Amino acid sequence: MSERKRLLIVDDDPDFVEGIRAILEGADYETDVAYNPKDGFQALKRRAYDLLLLDIMMGRGAEGIMMARKIRKDPELKELPVLIITGIREQIAFLFPGKGVHPGYVPVDEFVEKPVEPEHLLERVRSLLDAAATRKGKASR
Amino acid sequence: MENGQKILIIDDEEVVLDSCTEILQGSDYEITTATDGGRGLKLVQEFRPDLVFVDLKMPGISGFEVLEKIREHDSTVVTIVITGYATVSSAVEAMKKGAYDFLPKPFTPDEFRLITRRGLEKRTLVLETMALRRERELLRENFAAIVSHELKGPLSAVQQNMFVLEQELAGTASEDQKRRLDRMKTRIKDLLQLVDRWLRGMSVDIEAMKENYQPLAVSSAIEKAVESVLPQAVRKDIEIVTSVEESAGQVMGDEGALTEALVNVLGNAVKYSPTESKVSIAWERKDNQVVISVSDTGVGISEEDLPFIFNGLYRAKSAEGAESGLGVGLAISRRIIEAHDGSISVQSKLGEGSTFVITLPAIEG
């Protein structure tokens, strides 16, 4: 159980990625990065990850949302914990008029807002990984 | 746009229909004809023409009535009247009803071609204008999302790296260096919050907000607003003096929005005040209103600038040399306060300071 957890970051801003990657690696996680959803998907197909950190606004719009939806429909990936890291909150009204983003609209486990305090990020990551481990434990029993 | 435009000609004289069709033969236009108003109107809906020629003098439904019906159906369709009398008065009457031009009978092929081309050009312009208007509306709606991404993206990246840098230097940085890092982090955080506030103010759906109005204590919004501007005040060694009349009361509203309106006003007072001065905020109940006033001893606003300060993207000339910042905040404040059936006004003297007065209708409770 001491094996290092492997996380995938999908975000199109290399400078931002650098910022969270350093925090995650500092906490002894292994990280891979994809700078767009397409590469992200390929990475997820290539190997198993314990958690996905996903940006919303990429490319021509809210491509992160499409990616999250696609993952939830994929039989192999639907159990993957997804943490959305986004700069947009209620300003996303053009996608969901009058509503903020929340898991009712985007099938993910949790949201944090950019920029994210290191402690807060690590805490969210830990709790999602723990929840996933618990789920897995129950399933195998 | 030039190609494949559709023309409908409504005239009871078959010879006119035939000759018109013949004149335009070989062009890219799609042409359909009708011999009376009833059939013509049916075609307006089915054929969806860009340009309609209407004979004014027809049996059955009159040309005028046809014009009116077309207008009701789709006011962007360009109409040109054909009039046998060539009387200016009936043509003018038709143009008052929205016809774009008139064509007196008899006409030459050249005249008909020319007026057709002009009519279609008009149609193109009308459609383009509409498209631009729609685009502008869409841009306004999406503005928040676009700005959010373009402005906050880079700021977030900077801040995120700042967090890491701070961690990495934790053991080695001197106290001075730590303070410098703190200062940078604070300013970026302020900037991110400012972007958020402006975006919310500009994109907030007032009608949706009204649906969630609740009774709230004015003092609670004021406390939160004061708390929000306190860091800026402390930095400039400005004291925020609050004085409250205990029974100032409650208003119906959205606490977040009202707090934001107050933050903008208070923030300006702090921004334009000299260091080591005082900003005071007082509120009281006057009859059935809650009156909040915010006073500073700052740069003040000149008489000529006063009428414009709530208009958005406006920064008084007299503020030059003081801290920079566009006057979007006050416009947002006004928008919010007016959505609460309140009002905001200002009294100011250049060099002596300003007092902003906000009044909101009070409720019992």
The SS3 assignment for A20 reads helix
Whether the predicted pLDDT of A125 surpasses 50: yes
Cα B181 to Cα B173: distance, rounded to the nearest angstrom:
10
Do strands B250-253 and B214-217 pair parallel, antiparallel, or not at all (unpaired)? antiparallel
Kindly state whether A91 is in contact with chain B, defined as any CB-CB distance less than 8 angstroms. Answer: yes
Cα B194 to Cα B32: distance, rounded to the nearest angstrom:
59
Whether the predicted pLDDT of A108 surpasses 80: no
Compare CB distances from B164 to A19, A57, A95 and report the shortest one's residue. A19
B contacts of A114 (beta carbons < 8 Å)? 152-153, 156, 160
Residue A63 confidence (pLDDT): 83
Cβ count within 10 A of residue A11: 26
Confirm if B11 and B55 have CB atoms less than 8 A apart. yes
CA B151 to chain centre: 20
Q: How far is B76 from chain A (nearest CA, A)?
A: 28
In a domain, A51, yes or no: yes
Task: Please tell me whether the peptide bond between B106 and the residue prior to it is cis, using omega within 30 degrees of 0.
Answer: yes
Q: How far is A43 from chain B (nearest CA, A)?
A: 24
Burial environment of residue A106 by CB neighbours within 10 A (0 to 12, 13 to 18, 19 or more): buried
Segments of chain B assigned E as strands: 6-10, 30-34, 51-55, 78-83, 101-104, 214-217, 239-244, 250-253, 278-286, 289-296, 343-349, 353-363
Residue A106 confidence (pLDDT): 56
- Domain interval for residue A51: 6-140
Task: Determine, for residues B163 and A88 on separate chains, whether the beta-carbon distance falls below 8 Å.
Answer: no
Predicted confidence (pLDDT) per residue in A23-47, tens digit: 999 999 999 999 999 999 999 999 9
Find the closest chain A residue to B188 by CA distance. Answer: A115
Cα B200 to Cα A85: distance, rounded to the nearest angstrom:
20
| Predicted complex: ipTM over 0.95 | no
Cα B53 to Cα B85: distance, rounded to the nearest angstrom:
16
Domain count, chain A: 1
Counted across chains A and B, CB pairs separated by less than 8 A come out at 79
Q: pLDDT band at residue A10, thresholds of 50, 70 and 90?
A: very high
In a domain, A60, yes or no: yes
Best CA proximity match to B309, nearest among B281, B256, B254, B272: B272
In a domain, A75, yes or no: yes
* Whole-structure pTM value: 0.56
Kindly state whether A119 is in contact with chain B, defined as any CB-CB distance less than 8 angstroms. Answer: no
The residue among B156, B209, B212 with the most chain A CBs within 10 A of its CB, best to mutate, is B156
Residue A18 confidence (pLDDT): 95
Phi–psi pair at B74, nearest 5 degrees: -160, 105
Cα B185 to Cα B171: distance, rounded to the nearest angstrom:
18
Predicted confidence (pLDDT) per residue in A51-83, tens digit: 999 998 787 777 888 888 888 889 999 889 999
Whichever domain contains A80, its CATH number is: 3.40.50.2300
**Domains within chain B, CATH numbers bracketed:** 6-107 (3.40.50.2300), 206-363 (3.30.565.10)
Work out the average pLDDT over A117-131.
93
CB within 8 A of B171, min separation 6: which ones? none
Q: pLDDT band at residue A96, thresholds of 50, 70 and 90?
A: very low
Confirm if A81 and A50 have CB atoms less than 8 A apart. yes
Task: Determine, for residues B205 and A98 on separate chains, whether the beta-carbon distance falls below 8 Å.
Answer: yes
Rounded percentage of chain A residues whose pLDDT exceeds 90: 54
Burial environment of residue B278 by CB neighbours within 10 A (0 to 12, 13 to 18, 19 or more): middle
Please report, as a single letter, which amino acid is at residue B74: D
Residue A20 confidence (pLDDT): 95
Rounded percentage of chain A residues whose pLDDT exceeds 70: 80
Residue A98 confidence (pLDDT): 37
In a domain, A1, yes or no: no
Confirm if B150 and B199 have CB atoms less than 8 A apart. no
Per-residue pLDDT tens digits of chain B, which is 365 residues long = 446 899 999 999 999 999 999 999 888 899 999 999 999 999 999 999 999 999 988 888 888 999 999 999 998 999 999 987 657 788 888 888 889 999 988 899 999 999 999 999 999 999 999 888 877 766 766 666 667 678 888 999 999 999 999 999 988 999 999 999 998 998 898 888 878 777 766 666 677 678 888 999 888 889 989 998 998 899 899 999 988 766 668 899 988 889 889 998 999 999 889 999 999 999 988 889 999 999 999 888 888 778 778 876 555 554 444 444 446 788 888 888 998 999 999 998 888 899 999 999 998 75
Task: Determine, for residues A22 and B164 on separate chains, whether the beta-carbon distance falls below 8 Å.
Answer: yes
B contacts of A59 (beta carbons < 8 Å)? none
Q: How far is B188 from chain A (nearest CA, A)?
A: 10
Q: pLDDT band at residue A93, thresholds of 50, 70 and 90?
A: very low
CB within 8 A of B248, min separation 6: which ones? B218, B219, B283, B284, B285, B290
